[in-house]
């Protein structure tokens, strides 16, 4: 039911956006797109996927092994599952598969995925703060967003860096959370504690994974700027470095299907000083393609991982 509601919300938001733009103009923008930057920008999903797979390899304990090709297949297949299944089931399946192939405990494999996603979010927030601080057109709204994103980054870093702060954070969440998700928060707290012990025991590995995550998100944001160039539009790179993370964060709100709608609306609003809503709608379509292209690439491997999910026993699922 939640999936249908999110799809409905996405359709409503997109309907509002497209009712206010020139649809023929949007088609013309793509027909007249830059023949160099369009393929280059779309092809950026390849190095992004490769670096993400390499990072997944580095996350594995030294006593285990995950091949580079297998890591890529796992990333791509998880992209498909995350598009069609609720609650990021693709990442849960990825943790399960890492456990099966890497001979990890279920809690440790989930810890690795939790740490991977935490690095992604914190890296996105870091680039967002960096861009907002350098963004030239500051007003009350942008100072408010800068403050909010900075607080989020500091809280995230504190949760990652301090075991005591993390325990306090999870205790507070468990007190205010509805009863039906308190148990999930408790399991996440246990996984987080194990992840904290695992990664802080090797600070060199921690720095390598963190630096790789920051670089991966630089590639994500660079790709969005390339999209702007592909549409024959313009926004300064430093300004895009501030605005595109905000749009991505809007897409992470659990309101719409894969962020479609909220992300598009954010792009229209944030990029208004640089180009009109029609171009921004085109940028929204390309940003959505960032998620669909890896999912399409993962379709050939989907059967293998669907089999993996089907063979997951109820005891296996409860472990996550």
- The mean pLDDT values, 10 residues at a time, for the chain of 320 residues are 80 92 94 96 97 90 82 88 66 74 67 86 93 84 89 92 88 84 80 80 86 96 97 94 92 80 93 95 95 90 68 50
Helices (H), the chain: 2-19, 23-31, 37-43, 45-59, 68-84, 89-102, 106-134, 140-161, 163-176, 179-200, 203-230, 237-251, 262-270, 277-310, 314-319
The pTM of the full predicted model, rounded to 2 decimals, is 0.89
Kindly give, in sequence order, each residue whose CB lies less than 8 Å from that of residue 294, ignoring residues fewer than 6 positions away: 45, 49, 75, 76, 79
Taking the C-alpha atoms of residue 222 and residue 30, their distance in angstroms, rounded to an integer, is: 20
**What are the sequence ranges of the domains in the chain?**
2-14+38-319
Of residues 258, 277, 255, the one with CA closest to residue 17: 277
Kindly give, in sequence order, each residue whose CB lies less than 8 Å from that of residue 225, ignoring residues fewer than 6 positions away: 235, 237, 240, 241, 244
Give the pLDDT score at 187.
Answer: 78
User: DSSP assignment, residue 62?
Assistant: T
Helix 237-251 and helix 203-230, axial crossing angle in degrees, nearest 10: 100
Q: How far is CA 158 from the centre of its chain?
A: 20
**Is the CB of residue 45 less than 8 Å from the CB of residue 288?**
no
Of residues 1, 29, 9, the one with CA closest to residue 258: 9
Taking the C-alpha atoms of residue 69 and residue 13, their distance in angstroms, rounded to an integer, is: 38
Judged by phi (left if over 0) then psi (alpha if -120 to 50, else beta), residue 88 lies in left
Q: How far is CA 267 from the centre of its chain?
A: 16
């Amino acid at each position: 039911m939640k999936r249908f509601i999110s799809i409905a919300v996405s359709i409503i938001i997109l309907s509002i956006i497209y009712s206010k733009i020139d649809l023929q103009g949007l088609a013309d923008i793509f027909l007249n797109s830059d023949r160099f930057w369009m393929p280059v920008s779309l092809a950026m999903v390849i190095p992004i996927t490769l670096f993400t797979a390499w990072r997944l390899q580095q996350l594995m304990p030294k006593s285990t092994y995950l091949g580079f090709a297998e890591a890529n297949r796992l990333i791509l297949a998880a992209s498909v599952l995350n598009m069609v299944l609720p609650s990021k089931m693709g990442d849960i399946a990825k943790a399960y598969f890492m456990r099966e192939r890497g001979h990890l405990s279920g809690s440790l494999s989930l810890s690795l995925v939790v740490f991977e996603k935490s690095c992604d979010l914190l890296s996105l927030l870091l680039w967002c703060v960096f861009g907002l601080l350098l963004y030239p057109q500051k007003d009350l709204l942008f100072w408010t967003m800068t403050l909010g994103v900075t607080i989020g980054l500091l809280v995230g870093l504190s949760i990652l860096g301090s075991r005591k702060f993390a325990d306090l954070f999870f205790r507070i969440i468990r007190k205010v959370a509805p009863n039906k998700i308190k148990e999930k928060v408790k399991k996440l707290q246990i996984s987080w504690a194990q992840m904290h012990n695992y990664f802080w025991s090797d600070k060199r590995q921690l720095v390598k994974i963190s630096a790789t995550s920051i670089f991966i998100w630089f590639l994500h944001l660079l790709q969005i700027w390339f999209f702007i160039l592909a549409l024959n539009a313009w926004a300064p790179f430093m300004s895009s470095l501030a605005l595109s993370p905000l749009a991505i964060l809007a897409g992470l709100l659990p309101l719409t299907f894969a962020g479609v709608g909220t992300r598009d609306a954010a792009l229209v609003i944030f990029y208004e000083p640089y180009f009109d809503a029609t171009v921004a709608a085109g940028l929204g379509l390309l940003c959505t393609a960032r998620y669909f292209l890896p999912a399409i690439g993962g379709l050939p491997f989907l059967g293998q991982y669907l089999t993996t999910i089907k063979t997951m026993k109820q005891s296996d699922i409860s472990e996550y």
